[in-house]
Amino acid sequence: MLRTRAVAALAVVVGVLLATLPPAATAADYPDPQTVTGDTAIHDPTMIRLKDGSYVAYSTHGRLEARVSKDRTHWERAAVDAFATPPAWWYAYNDTADPWAPEITYRAGTYWLYYSLSSWGSNHSAIGVATSASGRPGTWTDRGKVFASETGDAWNAIDPYVVEDGDQLWMAFGSYWSGIRMIRLDPRTGKAHTADTAVRHLATRPDLPYAVEAPAIVKHGAYWYLFNSYDACCSGLSATYKIKVGRATSLTGPYTDSGGTPMLRGGGDLLLAGHGRYIGPGGQSLMRDRGAHVLVHHYYDGEDDGAPKLGLNELRWGEDGWPSVV
């Protein structure tokens, strides 16, 4: 009898606790990405609108796979990747010279393409850079290594994101290890600054394996906003990737979420998570297009055996200054 009463009392307590928890996310909690057609099988995308109004997207694998579009809706695989052949130095970081997670920018009349080289589970990694006058596939000239990490370092030099602050140029990067880091770049070369060699710390989480990666940063109003991917990428239907955001008054931080928790202590407001067929969104970049900030990411398609697909969501800025996806 006592055991029965104890079980009944425990059930009541559990019921009360469950009733106070927020409901599990449903498809209605997050908007679907923009409808896209054509060749949209893509991973870790970066995108830019070119001078003629057309779009190009580069992504992980190949020699940085390339896709082109006239309207940001219908996409076709380009006849060539970013590179026709891999630079010889790539082979020092993986034996297939397979680059990951590119990031394209336009600065000083030149397109700049940053990219990662590594092997799974290692921080023997490097970030490289190439330049092009047009930004089109097959036109890139490699400029070599920007920054590297080795097995004794507390960071991982992959997933670059480059951002300007006045006349200064910065690169955020990072994956697992101690999370998201930032270094200053030389605007002339686009590579690590030789006079300012500090490796700054922007975000991490308190639990191993510090699953934070793929930073992207944008300024809106008085704040800089840092978007990161959290949890498990690259596992199709089992992916738990999601995107969180925090902000700071300085590009180099400290970043906090809307509740004041520092991103260096695991903070971050959940911006986009899996819902319906759209599993594990992340690997994001940001693009400014026609007055709007566009979140460029991949997800795993629950209706196509977990294949990675292109996701595009515009950001809407609330009266409180925080973004949401639409």
Q: Of the listed 65, 142, 213, 314, which one is catalytic? A: 213
Does some domain include residue 178? yes
pLDDT of residue 8: 39
CATH number for the domain spanning 226: value is: 2.115.10.20
pLDDT of residue 29: 78
Does some domain include residue 5? no
pLDDT of residue 26: 43
Q: What is the mean pLDDT for each group of 10 consecutive residues in the chain (326 residues)?
A: 37 36 50 97 98 97 97 98 96 96 97 97 97 98 98 97 98 97 98 98 96 98 98 95 98 98 98 96 97 97 97 97 97
Does some domain include residue 302? yes
pLDDT of residue 27: 44
Does some domain include residue 10? no
Percent pLDDT > 90 in the chain is: 91
Q: Which two tokens stand for residue 18?
A: 């469950």
pLDDT digits (tens, 9 = 90+) for 312-322: 999 999 999 99
- Report whether 110 contacts 103 (CB < 8 A): no
pLDDT digits (tens, 9 = 90+) for 194-205: 999 999 999 999
Does some domain include residue 78? yes
- Give residue 8's identity as a one-letter amino acid code: A
Q: Of the listed 44, 65, 81, 159, which one is catalytic? A: 44
Does some domain include residue 68? yes
Active site residue 167: no
pLDDT of residue 15: 40
Active site residue 150: no
Contacts 24+ apart (CB under 8 A), 60-68: 60/99, 60/100, 60/101, 60/102, 61/98, 61/99, 61/100, 62/98, 63/99, 64/99, 64/102, 64/113, 64/115, 66/137, 67/38, 67/39, 67/40, 67/42, 68/137
Sign of CA dihedral 94, 97, 98, 103: positive
- Kindly report the pTM of this predicted structure: 0.91
Range of the domain at 133: 28-325
Does some domain include residue 153? yes
Q: CA–CA separation, 232 vs 307, rounded Å? A: 15
Does some domain include residue 22? no
DSSP 8-state code for residue 71: S
DSSP 8-state code for residue 74: E
Number of domains in the chain: 1
